[in-house]
Structure 1
Amino acid sequence: MFQSYESHSDPARHVPRLQALRAALSARRLDGFLVPRADAHQGEYVAGHDARLAWLTGFSGSAGFAIVLAERAGVFIDGRYRVQVKAEVDLAHFTPVPWPEVKAADWLRQALPEGGRVGFDPWLHTRREIREMEKSLAGTGIGLHPVSSNPVDAIWDDQPAPPVGAVRLWPDALAGETAAEKRARIAGLLREAGQQAAVLTLPDSISWLLNIRGADVPKNPVVQAFAIIEENGHVAIFTNPAKFSSELRAALGNEVQVLPFDALTVALTNLGGPVRVDPASAPEQVFQLIESMKTPIAEAADPVIMPKAVKNAAEIAGMRAAHLRDGAAMVELLAWLDARARDLDGAPLTEIGVAQKLEELRARQGIIDISFDTILGSGPNGAIVHYRVTEATDRRIQSGDVLLVDSGGQYDDGTTDITRTLPMGPVDAAVRRPYTRVLQGMIAMSRAQFPKGVAGCHIDALARAPLWSEGMDYDHGTGHGVGAGLSVHEGPVRLSRVSDIPLRPGMILSNEPGYYREGAFGIRIENLIVVRELGSPDGREMLGFETLTLAPIDRRLIEPGLLSPDERDWLDAYHARVRDEIGPLVSSEARDWLELATRPV
């Protein structure tokens, strides 16, 4: 089984941990401490060893942080987790704080007296994060103080050991480029910029660069490590060497050196400059170690991040192939669900039961792992944007429920992420209008054509406009970048109001507008799309999207009268493509269902 459904711990169990941390802070003469969700690599998924925020507070979301003071403890969460956090933390001891509306510095201004000392682990916070917080705290007398050892780790008696997942090669045929060619390309960027080396701290950057994959964290096949690439293309990777077999080391060649993590400090203090380090992703400690030797630092983006974001033909072909198999699994699930929905009273169905069925169907298609914890919410649970079903929250699906299924898989040639919203029997008419508006937003983004140089912030409104016309909106981005056989959430490109990175051919993103009515239902429709060239009909280079995801979009919740002729044409053409490409890959029963599900609107 790929996903665990154990119940979240009793929120009250976290109170003694909070008390122990406060005692540890007092002994260190600290008035507060920052507890991030992130690990030293700023990963969305963290290994058990690094799950400090969840262990301390009970909050299990994939983003957020806590600030613990002597009398107050704030848990900072964004719009995706406003409902979830209330169920997971002890509200008598932890206070949810809406973030980023309330900044950490503003909260500290109100909560701490002048001269307050707030500790932080410099391995767990980026240079940019600490710099911005210090700037916001200027004039308050409140200071940020790096600690040499993390006080949460000091009180965590049964903290899991760091992961030691085996490393495997990613085939050159899927990568479209050898690791040696990639190293040479990145080294060339460093030489052009006059930089002697770059420090890489993002596991997906390192995994992409060396054409390797790992098993250190759930769902994301990355190798947790740090690396230094020099301007001659030589790479030193710092991790637990036990992850690398002798055969793998031989395949990487003499230009790639595998060293223990403990060797990183010495390496950073012996670099010649300028050294390229990304202030948005590299730990503050990395900067401090390099600066301790007065080595010049060139603050710039991770040099791998953009080459990785722009997929080549081989990577896109692998993603297309993965989406075919994933589409077959989804069609089998949707057909199975439709049959079960006719008799929910006689054959009870639960959220966990559906999630397990989907994992079983994906396993038949050769899945390696799921690409994130399946979000499968019925009725009011669907309104929790990143809901994760557990044994305690598992809900029996009832006739009239709206069921939101957001899931994905890691295949041997690509990564998938898809959301479908389904009626389980007759559904209240009040659902149809927002569902149709969400669908219209998804279609608008799918059909978008835009000039070269346009960024996600310029077109995010296309997906929201139909909802805005009804006074509705959603509190998450419209789309995130997706890795090719890597992290399902990949930076830096996004479809959102805050992303100013121009879209380029080969970038793969999600397209997922939604609508959520707390206590009632949630709606989201998501496909993955790849940016492609459309030509220059008027002398201006134009770009658009190709849809990778192939699975029916439920037609029963649509108010047909709201759709324009162009929107109907797009949906009918998409469904014809799904029928043609997925039909031959599924069982005869699912094929019969697919014929009906993809009829013209």
Structure 2
Amino acid sequence: MFQSFKTISNPAQAAPRIARIRELMAEEGLDALLIPRADQHQGEYVAPCSERLAWATGFTGSAGAAVILADRAVLFVDGRYTVQAHEQTDPALFTIESLVDNPPREWVKTNLKKGDRLGFDPWLHTVAEVRALEKSLEKIGATAVPLARNLVDAAWEDRPDEPTGRVIVHPLKYAGVAAEQKLDMLSGKLAAEGLDHTVLTDPASLAWTFNIRGSDVPHTPLALGFVFLSAEGKPKVFLDERKLDAEAKTHLVNLADLHAPAALLDELAKLARTGARFGLDENLAADRLRQVIEDNGGTVVAFADPAALPRAIKNETELAGTRAAHLRDGAALATFLAWLDRQEPGTLTEISVVEQLESTRAKVGEAMQMPLQEISFGTICGAGPNAALPHYRVNEKSNRTVNVNELLLVDSGAQYFDGTTDVTRTVAIGQPTDEMRKRFTLVLKGMIAISLLRFPEGTRGMDIDAFARQSLWRNGLDYNHGTGHGVGSYLSVHEGPQRIAKTGATKLMPGMILSNEPGYYKPGHYGIRIENLIVVSPAEPIEGGDLPMHSFETLTLAPIDRRLIEPSLLTEEERAWLNAYHRRVYQEISPLVDEETAKWLEQATAVI
């Protein structure tokens, strides 16, 4: 099993844990303590030893923070997790605040007072976060206190060890570009900016730059470590050697000087004492790194992670790999959806659906000689009202029967050596209502609008987000999440800097993979989301046009539930796109599945 349905949440343990944290706060002379959901790398997925917020509060969501005071405690979560936060925390201990509308940096302005000392671990907050926090506290005469020890760690007696997951070399047949070439390119970027060094703090940048993959965190093949890159000279990699077999160690030693993680700060201080100029990504790098550089005479310059953009622009080998991965994944999805259609309503639960999907992906991967390595994120499988929670994660407590005349939303993905997938399909169980069909079709129209879009070079994700929402907006509807996120190549399923959203400021460039996933959610009733992955491609020129244009190639190959489509709401262009897409799904997937599934697929992709 790749996914566990047990939750570590235990509100009954929160009271003694918070009491112990308060004792340690008193020892440090603190009035408040900030506990983020973060690790030293600011990753979305963290190792068990870094689940400090979950340990202290019981809340297990992927984003959040807590502020502990002597007489009260506050948990901050975004809209995805409001219901979950109330379920997982003790109301006698915690109040719930919005991480978006009133984050800790704003909350402190009205809840702390002059002279108060707020402690924080500078390893767990970025340079930009600490700057914003200090600015807020300064306005009220309070102080942010960087701590030499993490107080949660000090209270957590059975804290798990740091991970030592196996590191493997990511072969050139999947990576497409040798690590030596990538290192030369990154060193050139530093020299061009007049910088001596930078620190790559994102393990995805370590993995991409050195063509390695790891297994330190759930769902994403990352090895936790840091890199010092220099304009001149060999890079330094800080990685626990217990993760390396002979092949991986030889690979890395040929590219870099290898150091233990414990040596990082000493080596950083040594470089800083030369008066060097360091580029740090202020939105990724831990403030602890800035402290050490500046305390030892170095200069910190704002500098975006130089590996982020080239990592996002997939090369031809990576694109060929992701196309192959989506064919394989499409075969698994068709097999799963055909199976789902044969089941009687009321006989399945959300967990049994997830287990079947994971099992099917594993079997199809083995049969096609490219095994499933992991799921790319915890599968979202919501039946009926649970589907109205956009990022719902089923567990043994919330597990719900899939009943007749409901919608079932399944958002899932896979990690293969040659690519990462992410797909959402909403399926009718029994007879959908007219309202369900209309709103599903409005969501579909938004997904098709992005799929059909042609746009000039230089267009950003924020410039096209509204195309996905226009049909919903015309009907007084919307969804409260972005339309698309970037996706890696056997890396993170949520990859920046590219995204389609109101905040998507990065230009969309050929080779960037994104999701296309508009939705609609009716609280307490049902949820709808349709998601394909797409890749930015140069568009065919149009006679008479004078601008270079881009378009999207659709990667995902899975049928869209025809029972939920109201054809009268589709334009001729939308209908033509849908029929062409379904024809492609049938032609490319039917040869890869068994006869029973192929027959089902023929009906599922019939012309509308």
Q: Partner residue of 2:224? A: 224
Match of 1:352 in 2: 351
- Show the counterpart of 1:580: 587
Q: Following the alignment from structure 1 to structure 2, what is the Cα–Cα distance between the partners of residues 126 and 562? A: 47
Distance 1:233 1:212, change over 3 A: farther
CA deviations 1:435-454 (Å, max 9, x no partner) are 11111111111111111111
Q: Distance between the aligned counterparts of 1:253 and 1:315, measured in 2?
A: 25
Residue in structure 2 matching 1:486, options 474, 483, 491: 491
TM-score w.r.t. length of structure 1: 0.97
1:8–1:392 CA contact under 8 A, matched in 2: no
1:497 aligns with 2:496: no
Mapped to 2, the partners of 1:393 and 1:449 lie a distance apart of 42
Superposed displacement of residue 425, structure 1: 1.0
The one-letter code of the counterpart of 1:562 is: L
Task: Tell me the matched-pair count.
Answer: 597
Give the Cα separation in 2 of the matches to 1:106 and 1:195.
34
Distance (whole Å) between structure 1 residues aligned to residue 425 and residue 529 of structure 2 = 7
Tell me how far 1:590 sits from its aligned partner.
0.6
Q: Report SS of the residue matched to 1:190.
A: helix
1:376-395 alpha-carbon deviations (Å, 9 max, x no partner): 11111111211111111111
> Which residue in 2 is equivalent to 1:18?
18
CA deviations 1:523-546 (Å, max 9, x no partner) are 111111100111443221111111
- Is 1:553 paired with 2:552? no
Which is further off, 230-239 or 559-568? 230-239
Match of 1:543 among 524, 541, 550: 550
**Mapped contact 1:7–1:393 kept (Cα < 8 A):** no
| 1:56-78 CA distance string (max 9 Å, x none) | 11211111211112223222112
Residue 600 of structure 2 aligns to a residue in which SS? Answer: helix
Kept in 2, the 8 Å contact 1:61–1:386? The answer is no
Q: Is the partner of 1:139 in helix, strand or coil?
A: helix
In structure 2, the partner of 1:470 is: 475
Aligned with 1:332 (options 321, 332, 335)? 335
**Residue type of the alignment partner of 1:405:** V
Q: Say whether the 8 Å CA contact 1:452–1:541 is kept in structure 2.
A: yes
SS in 1 for 2:578: helix
Tell me how far apart the structure 1 counterparts of residues 11 and 477 of structure 2 sit (CA, whole Å): 33
Gaps spanning 5+ residues in structure 2: where?
366-370
Q: What residue ranges of structure 1 are gaps of 5+ in the alignment? A: none
Structure 2 letter corresponding to 1:436: T
Amino acid at match of 1:324: L
Write out aligned runs for 1:182-581 (5 A): 182-232=182-232, 234-271=234-271, 272=274, 273-340=276-343, 343-345=344-346, 348-364=347-363, 365=365, 366-537=371-542, 538-581=545-588
Deviation digits for residues 88-144 of structure 1 (CA, Å, limit 9, x no counterpart): 222232122122111323211221122211010000000001111222333201211
* Cα displacement (A) at 1:475: 1.5
- Partners of 2:27 and 2:270 in 1: CA distance: 35
In 2, the alpha carbon distance for the partners of 1:385 and 1:15 equals: 30
Q: Deviations over 1:220-271 (max 9, x none)?
A: 0011001101113622111211111222222234331221011101111122
For residues 479-507 of structure 1, what are the alpha-carbon distances to aligned partners after superposition, in whole Å with 9 as ceiling and x for unaligned?
11100010111111111101211111100
Please tell me whether the aligned partners of residues 7 and 60 of structure 2 are also in contact (alpha carbons under 8 angstroms): no
Deviates more, 1:183-192 or 1:40-49: 183-192
2:368 alignment counterpart: none
What amino acid is aligned across from residue 336 of structure 1 in structure 2?
Answer: W
Moved more, 562-571 or 77-86: 77-86
Query: Conserved in 2, the CA contact under 8 Å of 1:204 and 1:486?
Result: yes
- TM-aligned CA deviation for residue 17 of structure 1: 1.5
Give the aligned residue type for 1:460.
Answer: D
Whole-angstrom CA distance in 1 between matches of 2:82 and 2:470: 24
Q: Greater CA deviation, 355-364 or 108-117?
A: 108-117
Structure 1 vs Structure 2: percent identity of aligned residues?
A: 48
Aligned equivalent of 1:165: 165
The 1:536–1:192 alpha-carbon spacing in structure 2 relative to 1, beyond 3 Å, is: farther
Partner-residue secondary structure (3-state), 1:393: coil
- Which letter maps to 1:590? T
Separation in 2, partners of 1:546, 1:585: 21
Q: 3-state SS of the aligned residue for 1:269?
A: helix
Distance 1:536 1:574 in 2: 22
Q: Deviations over 1:371-430 (max 9, x none)?
A: 000111111111121111111111111111210100000012110000000011112332
SS at match of 1:551: coil
Amino acid of the residue matched to residue 318 of structure 1? G
CA RMSD of aligned residues (A): 1.3
Contact 2:484–2:514 (8 Å) recurs in 1: yes
Asked whether the equivalents of residues 184 and 232 of structure 1 are also in contact (C-alpha less than 8 Å), the reply is no
Q: Is the 8 A contact 1:130 1:284 kept in 2?
A: yes
Q: What CA distance in whole angstroms lies between the structure 1 residues aligned with 2:386 and 2:533?
A: 24
